[in-house]
Every structure is written in C-alpha cells, then in structure tokens.
C-alpha cells in the first residue's frame, strides 16, 4: 500500500515556517528589507519544489540495482554497489538510495514463525515490530556525474534483516526529499561473525554405507538393481528409471570408501518472547562455534557426513553446498520453546552438543544420553566475580578437571558485544535491550565440556 510522503524535510519545514513568520511580521511592520528577504526565500523554495516535483515524476519508473552481498556476515560491513543512478538530475539535486527496515538480532521474534527458509525469512515475522525487530536506516548518495554509489550495511550480530530499498531525490541544501523510483524489498540472513577456535579431533561413526566416486569412463563398472529403502538418492539412475517407470539404483563393487558420520545437536532452546540481548548474544556465539566446528571438520576430512538436529528439525550435511544451505538456515534460527526430550539417542558413538546457559533442559538431555560419550560446547555468561577479575577457566570435565593430557586454559578471552555498535551501524536497539539481562551460569555433567564465555557491554 503506497504511503504519502511529505516533500519537506524537517529542516525545510522549519525554513518555510521561519520565512512565513518573517514575511507576515514584515508586512505588518512595513519593513521592506524583511519583505524582500522573506519573499526571496519563499520564491527559492517554490522554484526548488516545482523542479523537484517535475523531475521526480519523470523518475517514477527508475529501478536502482541493489544486490546485497552473499553471504552476509556480521561485523564485516561489506559495501553493496548500488547501480542505475545514472539518471540526469537538475542542478543542486542528488539521487539518494535509502534502506529502511527491521533487524532481528539472532532472529529474535522471527524465530517462532520459522523466519528463515531457504534464505528467505517469514514476512509475517519480519513485519512484527513487537517481536523484537530493531529499526534500521542506512543511506547513500551518488555524486554528480557518477552512475553508482556504495552502501555500507554492517550488522553487529547474526539475525534476519527485512526491509525495503528506495530512491529519493534530494536537494543539496537539505530542504526537500522527493520519492522516485521503484522500491525493492529484501530479506537478508546475517551469519554470525566467525570465531577462531582450536582444531577438533573427533571419533566419527563408521557407516556401513559406501561412498563411490564414478566418472563417465567407469560406467561399465556399475551394475543396476531396483531401488530398496535405505539406498542413497544420489545413486538413483533417473534416466533409466524414467524408461521403465521404476526406480533403479547404481551399484559399484569397486572404489569403495567408508563414510564417517558425526552426530551433532544444536539446542537452541530458551525464552522466545521478550528475550534479552544477553541471551541473544549467547545464542549467536553458539551458532558461531557450531559453524566453526562443521567447517573445520569438513575441511579436514571431506568424507564426513554430519547429522545436525535442532529444535526445528534435522539436516544432513554431506558437502559444501549442504553446509552453505544449513548456515543460511542457522543465521535465521532463534530460540524455541523448551521441550522435554525423554528418548535417549540410539547408538554408542560420541555425540556433539552445542547449547547456551538459556537451555533449562540441558541437564536432562545429557542424562538421557548416557551411556554415550558427549562432547558439550556451552556458551555461558560471566558472573560478577569473573567480570571483575577477568579470570575464568574455559575447559571443564565431569569432575571439574580436564581429561588426561589436557591442561585447563586460564584467563581465556571472552566474546564481547558492544551495544553502541547498534546505533553506530544505523540500527536502533529496543529499550529493553539496554537493560542487562539476568542469566546465571549453568552447572553441567558431561564427559567433556568446553565453556565459551560471552557478555554484552555499553
């Protein structure tokens, strides 16, 4: 639905009001000097206004090129090139490109609606300001004679941005702002700023499934059989299946490579409504640690297959394409309401759990995992003593001691989010985000636990 936009900016409206007041007063006082001065000012506004209305009407069909960077990563502030600003504009006027919308930190509020799906957030969630969306406004302009401009959109943390980009024709004096061009809506999934932790060594489950690498010259090595439940979809010969109207699977007795499976749980459980910024920052750091874990292991061994389970469902990650699609989903994944998990995962291999201090059901889940070995990555806030002294340990075991051969890390660094980064990047945090959240550290009982500390500051 189109919205009515005033031509005058606040400065232009103030200048118009002052000119009218001076003109009325000068007419009453019969001061010719003030009459000439105020009349000239009003005439100037009239001429500039008529020129602006005329030119903006001609630019109604203009469409600027706006393609946000992919992937968008928090803290990087990569510039976006705005093209299509090569239209001729009158003297003393410039074309401005403005992006206005709402940013949902760690997909706050949008989480309950399933904000991100295949890189697109839910429109209903993104349009609801009361669910935690922070107003955001950034602007750029093209210098006279230039055809493009650069727009800097920097996000302080992960989440989902939903908004529109549009052009305005403005004068260099700041008195007028005319709507022109076609507005464009965009939804951007912002990934967490990367963390750089240690390399991981895992005990992957050896699967009975074989991974086979085949080239076109090896076609004769493969034989076909009818598809049976449990076969991989990528081994289906779709051309042959279409000919006989039945699913046919390719099987090769040669070149077999065992597949290693890694089972991962991302427990994004916590308070959904009116979540504090501290809690959202803990979730953001849990996302960053999970992203680093998956990417580092995939770079180490490409044959790994990850089974990732979250509060929203499960994903199977086999290659870089699957990982990229999952990271896009992860960027828009917020807190989900706590759930009781009573069934223990099957098998006897190690599982890897990523969670935060907001997960009230974590201890129950860890008990249900027995006797399976568990590696837990837990994001905790700092307590008052640790915040004052800066001394804390980032590694604990089941008995508050590190495993054999591992030394505890002292004076480890903490992940810090500064609240002033929001207004510095054109994003205005909600008032409740300025109040420190009350999140307590969680005591856990796991075979091996790595603690990641995170806090927010002004």
Tell me, yes or no, whether 44 and 160 share the same domain: no
Q: Domain check: are 226 and 324 in the same one?
A: no
Tokens 């006082």 belong to 29
Q: Into how many domains does the chain fold?
A: 4
Report pLDDT for 413.
Answer: 63
The set of residues, in sequence order, having a beta carbon less than 8 Å from that of 9 and lying 6+ positions away, is: 170, 174, 175, 176, 177
Do the domain assignments include residue 94?
Answer: yes
Q: Hey, what long-range contacts does 249-255 have (CB within 8 A, 24 or more apart)?
A: 249/224, 249/225, 250/214, 250/222, 250/223, 250/224, 251/222, 251/223, 251/224, 251/225, 252/212, 252/214, 252/218, 252/221, 252/222, 252/223, 253/221, 254/218, 254/221, 255/212, 255/213, 255/214, 255/218, 255/221
What was the pLDDT predicted at 214? 42
Closest to 335 in 3D by CA, of 6, 8, 105: 105
119 & 232 share domain: no
Note the pLDDT of residue 438. 78
**116 beta partners:** 121
2 inside domain? no
**Sign of the CA dihedral 13, 15, 21, 27?**
negative
Q: What is the pLDDT of residue 259?
A: 54
pLDDT number for residue 14: 93
167 in the same domain as 273: no
- Backbone angle region of 237, left / alpha / beta, with phi > 0 → left and psi within -120 to 50 → alpha: beta
CATH of the domain at 81: 2.60.40
Same domain, 299 and 448: yes
Does 413 share its domain with 433?
yes
| Per-residue pLDDT, 385 | 57
- Are 293 and 344 in the same domain? yes
Provide the 10 A C-beta neighbour count for residue 228: 8
Q: Which helix (H) or strand (E) holds 371?
A: none
Which pLDDT belongs to residue 38?
Answer: 93
Domain membership of residue 313 as a residue range:
260-457
pTM: 0.74
**Tell me, what DSSP letter sits at residue 131?**
G
Local confidence pLDDT in tens for the 458 residues of the chain: 344 456 889 999 999 999 999 999 999 988 899 999 999 999 999 999 999 999 988 988 888 888 888 888 988 877 888 888 888 888 899 999 999 999 998 876 553 334 333 333 334 333 344 456 889 999 998 888 788 888 888 888 889 999 999 999 999 999 999 998 888 998 999 998 888 766 666 666 544 444 444 444 444 445 676 766 656 667 777 777 777 777 777 765 443 444 578 889 998 888 877 788 888 999 999 999 999 999 888 888 777 888 898 888 888 888 888 899 999 999 888 888 887 654 445 556 788 899 988 888 888 888 888 888 888 889 888 876 555 555 544 443 333 333 333 333 444 467 888 888 888 888 888 888 877 777 888 777 777 888 888 888 88
What is the model's pLDDT at position 213? 44
């Amino acid at each position: 639905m189109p919205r009515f936009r005033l031509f005058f900016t606040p400065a232009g409206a103030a200048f118009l009001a002052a000119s009218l007041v001076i003109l009325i007063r000068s007419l009453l006082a019969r001061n010719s000097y003030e009459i000439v001065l105020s009349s000239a000012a009003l005439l100037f506004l009239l001429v500039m206004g008529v020129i602006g209305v005329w030119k903006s009407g001609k630019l109604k069909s203009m469409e600027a090129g706006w393609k946000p960077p992919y992937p968008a990563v928090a803290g990087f502030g990569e510039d976006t090139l705005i093209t299509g600003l090569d239209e001729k504009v009158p003297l003393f006027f410039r074309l401005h490109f403005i992006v206005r919308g709402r940013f949902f930190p760690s997909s706050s509020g949008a989480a309950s609606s399933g904000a991100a799906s295949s890189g697109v957030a839910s429109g209903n969630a993104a349009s609801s300001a009361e669910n935690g969306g922070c107003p955001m406004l950034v602007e750029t302009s093209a210098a006279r004679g230039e055809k493009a401009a650069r727009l800097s959109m920097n996000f302080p943390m992960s989440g989902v941005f939903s908004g529109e980009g549009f052009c305005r024709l403005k004068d260099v004096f700041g008195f007028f702002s005319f709507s022109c061009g076609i507005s464009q809506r965009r939804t951007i999934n912002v990934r967490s700023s990367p963390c750089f932790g240690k390399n991981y060594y895992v005990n992957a489950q050896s699967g009975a499934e074989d991974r086979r690498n085949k080239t076109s010259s090896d076609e004769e090595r493969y034989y076909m059989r009818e598809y049976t439940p449990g076969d991989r979809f990528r081994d289906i010969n779709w051309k042959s299946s279409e000919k006989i109207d039945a699913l046919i699977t390719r099987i090769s007795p040669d070149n077999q490579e065992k597949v290693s499976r890694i089972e991962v749980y991302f427990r994004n459980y916590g308070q959904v409504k009116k979540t504090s910024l501290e809690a959202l920052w803990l979730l953001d750091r849990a996302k960053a640690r999970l992203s680093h874990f998956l990417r580092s292991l995939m770079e180490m061994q490409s044959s790994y297959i990850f089974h990732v389970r979250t509060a929203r469902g499960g994903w199977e990650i086999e290659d870089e394409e699957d990982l990229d699609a999952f990271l896009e989903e992860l960027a828009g994944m917020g807190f989900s309401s706590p759930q009781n998990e009573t069934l223990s995962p099957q098998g006897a291999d190690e599982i890897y759990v990523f969670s935060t201090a907001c997960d009230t059901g974590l201890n129950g889940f860890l008990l249900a995992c027995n006797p399976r070995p568990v590696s837990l990555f837990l994001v905790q806030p700092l307590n008052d003593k640790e915040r004052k002294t800066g001394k804390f340990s980032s590694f604990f075991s089941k008995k508050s001691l590190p495993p054999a051969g591992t030394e505890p890390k002292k004076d480890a660094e903490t992940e810090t989010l500064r609240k002033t980064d929001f207004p510095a990047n054109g994003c205005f945090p909600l008032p409740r985000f300025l109040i420190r959240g009350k999140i307590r550290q969680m005591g856990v009982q796991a075979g091996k636990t790595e603690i990641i500390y995170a806090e927010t500051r002004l």
